[in-house]
Structure formats: structure tokens, C-alpha cells
Structure 1
Amino acid sequence: MSNPDLPDHGDSPSSPSSKNEDGNSSGASRHRRRKRNRSGRRSGEAPAGAEASAPGSGNGRPHSAAEAPAPGAPKEGKKPRGRSQPRRQRGDAISQAASRKGRAFDIEGRYSGSSFKEEEDAGREIGIGDFDPSILCEGFRSLALAPEILRAVHGLGFTEPTPIQVEAVPLALEGRDIVGSAQTGTGKTAAFAMPTLHRLMGGAGTRALVLTPTRELAVQVADHFRLLGRHLPLRTAVIYGGVDYEPQFRALEQEVDVIVATPGRLLDHMKRKTADFSNLQILILDEADRMLDMGFAEEIQEILHRLPRKRQTLLFSATIPSTIEELARKALTAPVRIEVAPPATPPEGIFHGVFPISAPNKPRAVRCILEQAEATTVLIFTRTKAGADHLGDLLEGGGIPVARIHSDRTQRQREKALNGFREGVHRVLVATDIVSRGIDVSDISHVINYDAPEYPEDYVHRAGRTARAGRVGYALTLMSPSEIMLVKNVERFIGKALPRVGLPGLQDDIHQRNLGGEPLPLKDQPPVARYDRLRNMPRRSGLSLR
């Protein structure tokens, strides 16, 4: 018998059940359906007393024992080949996995999060157990979060709430709309994840939606929800493009509590009516400025139009340009503005340096930096995808383990590269700006701008990949003569001069002569008059940035 809990995709033109064994529509099948319709039954409806068809029936409809198989159908007792087996059945394992509570699903149907095996072995503990909230600091206790969340906070080793958490959590618990601006690495994700989990306790259905600009960031945000909600009976699904739909259908059918998604794939699910947000209570727009930069403005507007108007909306952005102000006016109601640090300021603890150099000598400069003992984990940004591949080939040719991430890489390649970089398999990651806000690797020692950023605010985001959580790091820029104005735009944007530094081993470069010194923190640099109009300069957007 058919499962009433599963949506009927039989009428969808793109459904596998409306196609023959080769995956194409069959004229004979259409004729049989019309004949059955004339007999008074709906297409795909079984005769009285008939069981559902076995996997692999070409048109995906039930048939009685007396009904002859369609021409070309596999003979009884033989296993169908190719795509004749409905893809929906192949997701049964995904459906079973989705029924377990408290897991974050990635789009391949696996559990997200590196600690899955440990959790599976140890079992999941719902509730507070023998945890005593009084062992936490007063800062966390004063946030009035559920004991189950405080237990997870303690288990993660958090000692004090960050400034953005202190300001945002109480307001979010009150149900207020928020526009938050904070530097990267300041605990912004936990600032909206903790109150969201608290407010979702005791309900059912999909009640929270988080939109992020990139797939990598979506997975990381979902992992935060999973870890902070590990003692709550709540489930999280991750939805993004570049992969198969079927595991996502299975996860969405379970009515998970939290969905973390990128705008394009989420809107596709909404149009297919495979995602139900009728019970939505909380909408979170994470890295909103980046989503607009990547050309998702129309998708976000349509998503907002399809969501319930009565909801709480939290918007977080590293910068607050005029486009974000306009979005906030449309999406939020009487929002509270939170700004814990100037939005154009890189985090403290970063030592900055600019190396004037000829463009052909940039690969040599990278190798010189990598020879330094303190350059243990290095993230290199290029302006183009072709530049990332070219530099990666050069470094690999020199025996340096390199991973690469850009929008032309498949999702599996991107995940493998990022995991290898996190685990130390690859010492160097070469990437475009797609990961300037999309990765959270705590031990990056150096960020190298192989190409100076085209837009000055991107310098802040790139540099913010290092010196996270109070650590020390280096943000180094290789500046060719054609990039001098780009570096000056950065200086006007952050309000500080970036020190010009010499690089040992490149004194034969004409632009390196008579240069010395070392990278320095911004607090030791002279001020530069800010040029605020740069924040409103038109940006190249769309697929080129994804």
C-alpha cells in the first residue's frame, strides 16, 4: 500500500515514476494512463485490493495480478537494470536516518559533523543529566538559556560569552528582530543558534530557517546547531545546490525543526512544494551582505514573499552597506541594531604586511613565505578560478601539499579539500573569495592575498580567517604595480596604513629594493582618512563569485 506520509510525485514531469526504463517519457505509458483515466480511476491509483507495484515497473503505477506487464518491462523474477528502479526507494536508508532525532543531515544523506562516530558510539543524551548549571560562569548563567543548552556550552569548553552573544541572546529570546554587525570569529553563529534552539523547545515542525551564502558555511552553521542542541530532541537539515535532490526530499519529509540552506536550492524546493514553512517562527539571514554580493537578491526577495509574515527575523552581516539597510527595512520589523565593533576593522591580533613585487615573482614570494617556520597552515586567496588552479599546480610541482576550492570544483571535491585542510593533510589551501566567509578553521597561521582584493571590504573578510578566537596570525598581501590603488582603497576603508615590507630572498626584484621591516598590527600604524563612499561602489556579482 502507498505511504500516506510521502508526497505524491507521480504527476510531476520530472518525477522518475513518469518515465520508462531509459528515463524518458513513454508514449505507450501515456496511452495506458489515458485508458485507465477513462475507466474512472486517477492516474497512478491502484485497483481495489491490488498491492503497490514492485520497484522497477516502468511507469511507476500499481497494477493487478491479471494485468500484463508493459512491453519492455523486466520479466518477473529478474532485477531491473539502470534507472528503472525509482530513486525514491533508494533513499529508504536516508529516511530511516532522518527519523533519528538530533542529527544534522547533509545533502548526501549523511550526518554532518566530524564527531558523528563518537556520538553514535556513546549514544545521545537528551536532557541535563547530572549537569549543574552553577558550574558555568555568571555570564552564561545570566543569559537565561535552557539547562540543556548550557550543558552543551559547557561540553564545548566555552568559558565566557562573547560581546555579540551578550548583546544578541537576550534580545533574541524576547522575540525582537535584530540587525547585528560583528567581526568574523566573534561567536556570531552561537549568538543566534543558542536563542533559536531555546525558543524551539516544545514545538513541532519546521520552525527555523537559516539562509547562508555558501555551501561550506551552511554545513558549518548546521554543525553549530547540532552541537549546541545535542541534548535537545531537535533535528537539523542542510540544503544546498550542486548535489542530488533525493536525499533532500527525504530529510524535508521528516519535518525537521531547523533548515540551514543556500537561497538558490531552497527556492527551488519551495517552488516544488517539498519544503513546508507554514509553521515558521524564526528566519535568520547570515552573512547577508555576502548573499547580496553573490547575486542572490532576487532569490531572497522571493523567499521572503513565500514565508509567513508573522515571524522573528535576525539579520547578521559583517558590513552594513545601503543594500543591507534596504533589505532590513523590507524583512524586519522595528529591529534592534547591534554593533560590537566597527564593521570595517579587522580583528586584533593580526599582523599585516604588504610586499611590493613584480607580478611574475609572486609564485616565488609565496614559496619564500611558506619556507618560514611559523607558516604552518596557510590560506591563499586569488581573484580568479583560473589563478587558483595555476598557483595550485605550481605549488604542487614544488612538492607542497595543496588543496583548492572555487566554484568550478564539485561539491565532493570542495568538501574533501576543506576537510583535508582542517585535518592537516594539506598545509596550503588556495581559494577564491568563495571561502572568505565560508570556512571556520581555527589554526590558520597565514592569510596570503596572492591578488589584492578587488573590493576593500573583502580584505577584512579574508584577513578575518586568521587570528580567530584571540589567536595571533598574519595577513600578507602581494602587491604588483597594477594593484597599488587597490591596496590604497583598502587603507582608506579600514582607516589605517598597511606597512610595506621586504621579503628575504627577493631582493633582486626592483620593487623590493631597500625594503625591510616586518608585518605589524594595525594599532601601531598611522591613521588614514577613511573614504566611506567605497562601501557603496558597485560590485561584480552573481555566478562569478559563487
Structure 2
Amino acid sequence: MFISFSRLNMSLPTQDNREQTEDIRGSGVKFSQLNLKPYLVTSLQAVNFITATPIQEKTIPIALTLVDIVARAKNGTGKTGAFLIPILNQIKPQINTIQAVIVVNTRELAMQISSVTQNLGKLVNGVQNRVMCLVGGNSHGDDIMRINQYNPSILIATTLKLRVFLQEKLINLSQTKILVADEADKIIQQHEPLADLLIIKSHMHKDHQTMIFSATYQSEVQQFTQLHMTNPEFINCQQDKLTLSGITQYVAQVRQQDLKFKLLMILFKHLQIRQAIIFVNSTQRCEQIHHLVQSQLEIPSSFVHSKLTQFERSKVFHEFSQQNTRILVATDLYTRGIDIRTVNVVINFDVPRYADDYLHRIGRCGRFGHKGLAITFQSGPAELETCQAIDEMLNSPMIPLPSDLKKIPNSQYAILDSDIKF
């Protein structure tokens, strides 16, 4: 039986006003109680940052003592604020050198952190117009011009681009005393980014503070802390459960790969979606699925992968973060650090190749204590094996997707088509 989904019209659901989950509920400590400078507290209050999350409550007081820190917390629980707020507290506007460096593994994460920095530091002297991204895709000449123009006090950079600038003596970090590695496991587990990070450290002030943050840590991270950090303080807000409490996880066992798109259309017709990310495993698949989504859904959508130009990637990120588009088809370029709190649905159209990537993919929804829905499409023995590895890692198996959609939180009443078998 052929079913036409021609131009499905997805209405925007009402705002999620449900109680936030325990992932971000700390003891109720306010930023005004954390020994921060009054103007910073005022700046935070201006953007409704009043109460610290657990990772912020534990990290900020220690970070202010300038010791090295290894912090672990779930995605979407306020890690970015945990390192940005101490940095903003330390900025001295009269100093005309780079005072803090934040290194990341993707351009999109760098741009997001830059935006958050300027938002939180809106009323902090020495921050506005002195926050800069240094990422791949831009010409050296343009970046040098911006360094001279902005005289940045806070630099957010991808490791490779910053290492090149240091080795070519295009930037000076000799007086920089704060280094943060966000999504540190992704940097440290790979040979070249790790080598870049060590070169960056070697160019900084000899007494600099190093803080590394991530949701997952492997043996390579432990080795890094032993060899390249000084008596670090370990902060663990991960708890026993690796996933965010607000995310409901389902797996749909689809008999054939070509039925995945049919299932996707059925779900999009019946789920209450504010914004959604569809993850795939290749650039070709990314564009293919976006074309199908674009032709079937009457809804603004976009796609992103590593082969797009820097301008194209920046435009996609901006449009999605501003909610000008509601569906994003993405490769694993977007699995880490991207914090868009209106994303309430993640679809793994392809099962991720590695179990760790699953954790980071689904962490794009249910952020900062909001509810989220993650659905993984599984077809064939290879994807089944990966799903079993994911279940083992999380110690909590994904729930089989019910054919009766009214059993799914935040969905309209509907029954799945009988041609889709689970």
C-alpha cells in the first residue's frame, strides 16, 4: 500500500514548561554566593543566570583558586558555564594580551562558546568585542587582521588552527594563564589534536591553569592528567547514569533500510517537535536524507557535514540556533557540545559507528533539564551489534519503539502503519 506524505504540515507545539530534571538541580546555591565579582553577578542575572547547576556549584569555587581541574558531567548540564564564569571573573580589562584560551575540536563548538561568552559577559569590562574565534576555514590574513582589531582577551580556537598560528609566530600566548579543553576526551584520544594541545600548552605562561571538561573519559585522559597537569582536582557530576534524566530512548528495529525513511515521515507527522536533529553516518547520506525531508515536509530544514565551506557551516549553525530552521540533518560533526535547548527530538537514522558517539548524539536533546526524545533506527546485524554495545555501555537498554505512538511521551495519538514491523 502506498502512502503519500505530501508536504506534511508540522505545527509548532507549545513551549515545554514542565519541571526540569535533577541533572541541573543543585543545592540551590546562587551565583551571588560563589565569591564572584559583583559586576559579573549582575551580568549573569541580566541573562537569567541565577542559580548554579551541580557542575557549576562544584567547579567555580575550585577554579577561582587557579588550580588544575578535571571535570566530568553529563552533556547539557552547564559545563560551559562552569569554566566560562571563572574565566570572566579573572579577566582584567587593562591587560592587552590574551588572558584565557579555550580549545575545542570543531568550528561549530567554538562559535557557540564564543556566543555564550559574549552573552554571559555582556556587562563585564574587557569582554565585549574582545572575544575571538580562531578556527579552520578562514584565511590567515583575515584572522591576523581580526586579532589586531579586537585585541582579544578570550580566544576560542580549534587545536590545529591555534597550533599553526603559534608555530608561525602569528600569535603570542606567553602571558596567557588559563587553558580550557572542552570535549577534552575527543581531543586527547586522537594523536594529532593531542600533539596540538601539548604544543599550545608549551607556548603558554609557565604557571598557567589547565581545566579539562567532558562527559566521558577514557584511559588516555587519565594518562594526560598524570603527565601534563599539576595536582589536578577531580570533579565528577556524572552520577551512575550516563544519559540525561530527561531523555526517553527508543530503538526501532526496521526490517529493511529503505523503510527507515517511511518510519521517519510517520514519526514526524505525529511527534510534537520543536526542533529535531537527524544523525547519519556519511556526507552522501546527509544530503540524500535532507533532500527527502525537504521534499516531504512543509518545514524549514537544513543539513551540515564536514565538506561544507566554513561560510556554509556557519550559516547553517546560525539559522538552526536562531530557530529559523527546525530540522537539521547532520553527520557526527554535531555530536558534541552543540547546545540548542529547543531541540527536543534526536533521530539516529543510522546507528552511530561507536557507542560513545551515541551518548553524545542523544545529548543534543533534553539539555539543561528539559525533556527530550531519542529514537534510533536499527536495521541489519551490524547495527544490531552496535546497539547491543550501546546498551551494555549505558547499562540500561533502549526501549523498543511501541507501534502505538500514544505511549510515547509528547506525541499525538496515532498508530504506526502496519507495513512497519518491529
Cα 1:350–1:396 shift into 2, 3 Å = same
Deviation at 1:453, TM superposition (A): 1.5
Cα contact 2:29–2:52 (8 A) shared by 1:
no
Cα contact 2:177–2:204 (8 A) shared by 1:
no
Listed as ranges, the matches of 1:28-427 within 5 Å are: 139-201=30-92, 203-204=94-95, 205-234=97-126, 235-253=130-148, 254-292=150-188, 295-342=192-239, 345-357=242-254, 358-400=256-298, 401-427=300-326
List per-residue Cα deviations over 1:95-125 (Å, max 9, x = no partner): xxxxxxxxxxxxxxxxxxxxxxxxxxxxxxx
- Matches of 1:394 and 1:198 in 2, distance apart? 48
Give, as a single letter, the amino acid of the residue that structure 2 aligns with 1:241. Answer: G
Cα 1:374–1:300 shift into 2, 3 Å = same
Give, as a single letter, the amino acid of the residue that structure 2 aligns with 1:496. Answer: S
Decide which structure has the larger Cα Rg and report it.
1
- Matches of 2:65 and 2:340 in 1, distance apart? 32
Cα contact 1:369–1:375 (8 A) shared by 2:
no
Deviation at 1:506, TM superposition (A): 4.0
Listed as ranges, the matches of 1:484-503 within 5 Å are: 484-503=384-403
Give, as a single letter, the amino acid of the residue that structure 1 aligns with 2:100. Answer: A
Aligned partner of residue 175 in structure 2, secondary structure: coil
Give, as a single letter, the amino acid of the residue that structure 1 aligns with 2:137. Answer: G
- Matches of 2:203 and 2:233 in 1, distance apart? 24
Give, as a single letter, the amino acid of the residue that structure 1 aligns with 2:131. Answer: T
- Matches of 1:422 and 1:196 in 2, distance apart? 24
Listed as ranges, the matches of 1:453-468 within 5 Å are: 453-468=352-367
Deviation at 1:499, TM superposition (A): 0.9
Cα contact 1:181–1:316 (8 A) shared by 2:
yes
Cα contact 1:403–1:418 (8 A) shared by 2:
no
- Matches of 1:138 and 1:339 in 2, distance apart? 18
List per-residue Cα deviations over 1:443-480 (Å, max 9, x = no partner): 11210001111111211111111111221110100010
Task: Let me know the Cα RMSD of the aligned residues.
Answer: 1.8
- Matches of 1:303 and 1:497 in 2, distance apart? 41
Correspondence for 1:507: 418
- Matches of 2:316 and 2:121 in 1, distance apart? 28
- Matches of 2:201 and 2:176 in 1, distance apart? 12
- Matches of 2:277 and 2:386 in 1, distance apart? 20
- TM-score normalised according to structure 2 size: 0.85
Cα contact 1:181–1:317 (8 A) shared by 2:
yes
Deviation at 1:256, TM superposition (A): 1.7
Number of residue pairs matched?
Answer: 375
Deviation at 1:218, TM superposition (A): 0.6
Cα 1:451–1:426 shift into 2, 3 Å = same
> Which one scores higher on RCO, CA 8 angstroms, separation ≥ 6?
2
**Structure with the bigger percentage of strand:** 2
- Matches of 1:305 and 1:166 in 2, distance apart? 30
Cα contact 1:252–1:274 (8 A) shared by 2:
no
Give, as a single letter, the amino acid of the residue that structure 1 aligns with 2:147. Answer: L
- Matches of 1:247 and 1:330 in 2, distance apart? 36
Cα contact 1:313–1:331 (8 A) shared by 2:
no
Deviation at 1:344, TM superposition (A): 6.1
Cα contact 1:181–1:343 (8 A) shared by 2:
no
Give, as a single letter, the amino acid of the residue that structure 1 aligns with 2:61. Answer: P
Correspondence for 1:476: 375
Give, as a single letter, the amino acid of the residue that structure 1 aligns with 2:261. Answer: P
**Aligned residues: percent identity?**
28
Aligned partner of residue 316 in structure 1, secondary structure: strand
- Matches of 1:150 and 1:233 in 2, distance apart? 13
User: What are structure 1's unaligned runs of at least 5 residues?
Assistant: 1-136, 513-546
- Matches of 2:98 and 2:284 in 1, distance apart? 41
Cα 1:337–1:436 shift into 2, 3 Å = same
Give, as a single letter, the amino acid of the residue that structure 2 aligns with 1:505. Answer: L
- Matches of 2:29 and 2:184 in 1, distance apart? 32
- Matches of 2:240 and 2:222 in 1, distance apart? 14
Give, as a single letter, the amino acid of the residue that structure 2 aligns with 1:239. Answer: L
Aligned partner of residue 235 in structure 2, secondary structure: strand
Give, as a single letter, the amino acid of the residue that structure 2 aligns with 1:471. Answer: H
Cα contact 2:93–2:125 (8 A) shared by 1:
no
Correspondence for 1:34: none
Aligned partner of residue 145 in structure 1, secondary structure: coil
- Matches of 1:219 and 1:248 in 2, distance apart? 14
Correspondence for 1:115: none
Cα 1:373–1:319 shift into 2, 3 Å = closer
Aligned partner of residue 57 in structure 2, secondary structure: helix
Aligned partner of residue 445 in structure 1, secondary structure: strand
Matched, 1:451 2:350: yes
- Matches of 2:163 and 2:241 in 1, distance apart? 32
Give, as a single letter, the amino acid of the residue that structure 2 aligns with 1:256. Answer: P
